[in-house]
Structure 1
Amino acid sequence: MNNPSPLDFVRDNTTLATPPLLPEIQLHLATEVTPLWEATEETLAEKNLPPPYWAFAWPGGQAVARLMLDRPDLVAGKSVLDFAAGTGVVAVAAMMAGAARVQACDIDRFSLAAIALNAKANGVEVKAVSVDLVGRELPGIDVVLAGDVCYERPMAERVTAWLRTVAATGTLVLLGDPGRAYVPAHGLEKVATYTVPTSLELEDRTTRETTIWRLLAE
């Protein structure tokens, strides 16, 4: 198929599977990194694209999603934002945990397609949002969830500075971090820790100790 739609591309290049930490959830996931990466570049007619983050259940996201299922009180009846959502696994888990409404934000159009398909696969309703929200106010949002956003310095610094301003308004902000280099060194409160099985295609080890932090305002 020439120029497949993002929905068709995600369907054609993934398999419905269960992430290791989340037996309750099914996601459209890639089985290998390189073939999907090459297919994405071919589809978009671009080279040197970033990895297809939307096609893998990264440890930070899995841990935050696990926390939602283990501690539904954190989101039950609340309005939730899953920031840099990727697969949308965190958004799906928040809805399964009883959130009143969930938005999943990502700027990758394939991610938006994956979010829609993954929500449908799990029988929940998630609103996919394709806007760069960094720097904006988030009126009406009670909880912001972010899995694994501290892997690059520019993004980590920009995002955490913004999320601190969000936390200052009284919004609960939770970060899932599997030991990335640029997680903030201060202004954090530990909420939970999970050992997440990982693939050596994506990580440098077979498990990652992943902590969910509450980001505090400064």
Structure 2
Amino acid sequence: MNGLSTAALTELEREIDAPGDGLDRLRLVPTPFVPEVRLHLAEDAIVWWARMEAAAGRTLPPPFWASAWAGGQALARHLLDHPHLAAGRRVLDLAAGSGLVAIAAALTGATQVVANDVDPYAMAAVTVNARANRVRVQARHGDLLDDDDTQADLLVAGDVLYDRELADRVLPYLRRAAANGTQVLVGDPDRGHLPWDVLEVVASYPVPTTEPSVDSPVRRVQVLRPR
């Protein structure tokens, strides 16, 4: 991890060890649709974010890593139910957030797992969550979307198409990876940016929702791959 991620890790470890409970705290809990994996999640990510920004006196990135997003839950479930997909392979988890999918890949016997995110706090979350699940995951901070070599046999991406601008960058990256021989799997709850002519459905799951501001307790999530 770089210096930003190391500083975020120190802060996150302090948060985890702090006494007390409430909506603005982190808790180590089983993931609803993937109970084999425990994550440090916020009771209420928005409240936690507000307190951390107030304490820091500056704007912090949205804590996407502090919720178990539906796309990542479905993808992690798919890997655990089909362990041959990651076992013995090099895995890259793109926009890893909490590291849920990366941890699932490690649990199935992947030889190397890299979790990537642009948020240093996500890299810190990956580190503490991998530690809690007793697996090894390498945290890689930065934007990979202009790269051409994934250096992975399997690329997994949960809930990466949540807005048009990001989808327009992510999809070409996924297609280049697939064209270079990397197996690609995407977990998506259909946020309206899914190009059906580019991806095809592999599996579908009803996933409990834990992320903030959702209007349904369960979302239908599809696992997809490039055509």
Q: What TM-score do the two structures reach when normalised by structure 2?
A: 0.88
Residue range with higher mean Cα deviation, 74-83 or 132-141: 132-141
| Residue among 35, 52, 76 paired with 2:87 | 76
**Do 2:161 and 2:167's aligned partners in 1 also have CA atoms closer than 8 Å?**
yes
- Aligned AA for 2:65? W
| 3-state SS of paired residue (1:125) | coil
2:147 matched to 1:136? yes
**Do 1:105 and 1:129's aligned partners in 2 also have CA atoms closer than 8 Å?**
yes
Report the Cα offset of residue 46 of structure 1. Answer: 2.6
Report the Cα offset of residue 51 of structure 1. Answer: 2.7
- Aligned AA for 2:52? T
2:63 matched to 1:40? no
2:68 matched to 1:57? yes
Change (3 A) 1:195 1:139: closer
2:16 matched to 1:16? no
Report the Cα offset of residue 44 of structure 1. Answer: 4.2
Once residues 162 and 34 of structure 1 are traced to their aligned partners in structure 2, the CA distance between those partners, rounded to angstroms, is 30
| 3-state SS of paired residue (2:35) | coil
Structure 2 unmatched ranges of 5 or more: 1-7, 19-24
Residue deviations 1:157-204, cap 9 Å, x none? Answer: 111111111110111111100111112231212111110011473322
Among all aligned residue pairs of Structure 1 and Structure 2, give the percentage whose two residues are the same amino acid: 44
| 3-state SS of paired residue (2:34) | coil
Structure 1 unmatched ranges of 5 or more: none
| Residue among 126, 146, 156 paired with 1:115 | 126
Kindly report which structure 2 residues correspond to 1:66-215, keeping only aligned pairs within 5 A, or say none. Answer: 66-199=77-210, 201-215=212-226
**Do 1:6 and 1:109's aligned partners in 2 also have CA atoms closer than 8 Å?**
no
**Do 2:75 and 2:101's aligned partners in 1 also have CA atoms closer than 8 Å?**
yes
**Do 2:74 and 2:207's aligned partners in 1 also have CA atoms closer than 8 Å?**
yes
2:38 matched to 1:26? yes
- Aligned AA for 1:120? R
Change (3 A) 1:158 1:22: same
Residue deviations 1:3-25, cap 9 Å, x none? Answer: 99333355254100011101111
Matched residue, 2:4: none
Once residues 145 and 101 of structure 1 are traced to their aligned partners in structure 2, the CA distance between those partners, rounded to angstroms, is 13
Residue deviations 1:50-75, cap 9 Å, x none? Answer: 53101000000000000110001111
- Aligned AA for 1:6? E
Runs of 4 or more above 3 Å deviation: 199-202
Once residues 4 and 107 of structure 1 are traced to their aligned partners in structure 2, the CA distance between those partners, rounded to angstroms, is 14
Once residues 160 and 68 of structure 1 are traced to their aligned partners in structure 2, the CA distance between those partners, rounded to angstroms, is 21
Change (3 A) 1:154 1:45: same
- Aligned AA for 1:36? W
**Do 2:68 and 2:210's aligned partners in 1 also have CA atoms closer than 8 Å?**
no
Once residues 210 and 132 of structure 2 are traced to their aligned partners in structure 1, the CA distance between those partners, rounded to angstroms, is 23
Q: What TM-score do the two structures reach when normalised by structure 1?
A: 0.91
